[in-house]
Amino acid sequence: MKILFVCTANICRSVMAEGILKRLLAFSPGFHSVFVASAGIDALENCTPDLNTSEVCMKRHIYIGSHKSRQLTKAMLKDMDIILCMEKIHKQRIHSAFPKFAKHVFLLKEYLHKNSLDDVEIKDPTGKSKIIYEKCFKEIDREVQRILPAILKDTS
Annotated catalytic residues are 7, 13, 124
Contact 1, 155 (CB under 8 A): yes
Contact partners, residue 20, CB within 8 Å, separation at least 6: 62, 137, 140, 141, 144, 145
Contact 99, 107 (CB under 8 A): no
Q: Give the helix, strand, coil percentages of the chain, each rounded to 5.
A: 45, 15, 40
Q: How many angstroms separate the Cα of 73 from the Cα of each of 11, 30, 53, 101, 143? A: 16, 28, 23, 12, 25
Beta bridge partners of 71: 40
Contact 40, 6 (CB under 8 A): yes
